[in-house]
């Protein structure tokens, strides 16, 4: 928990195993992503009427590796 508290405070850590760097633990930078507006892709595509229908047997089999 000590290291997580330090990362939360802005510190970064390099994790080493047998003199080889294997990972870095660092805070995630806040990108301040804005929400996408409702209707952003309006008119770009249409959802077919049968969208919620079960998939055909051959497609289901392909998903399941049969």
Per-domain residue ranges of the chain: 2-27+38-63
Mean pLDDT value of segment 42-63: 93
Which pLDDT belongs to residue 54?
94
**Where on the phi/psi map is residue 27: left (φ > 0), alpha (ψ -120 to 50), or beta?**
beta
Candidates 12, 34, 31; CA nearest to 23 is 12
pLDDT higher than 90, residue 66 = no
Tens-digit pLDDT profile for residues 11-47:
999 999 999 999 999 998 877 778 888 998 899 999 9
């Amino acid at each position: 928990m000590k290291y997580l508290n330090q990362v939360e405070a802005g510190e970064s850590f390099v994790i080493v195993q047998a003199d080889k760097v294997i990972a870095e633990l660092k805070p995630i930078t806040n990108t301040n992503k804005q929400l996408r507006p409702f209707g952003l892709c309006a008119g770009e595509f249409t959802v077919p009427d049968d969208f919620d229908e079960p998939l055909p047997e051959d497609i289901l089999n392909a998903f399941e590796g049969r």
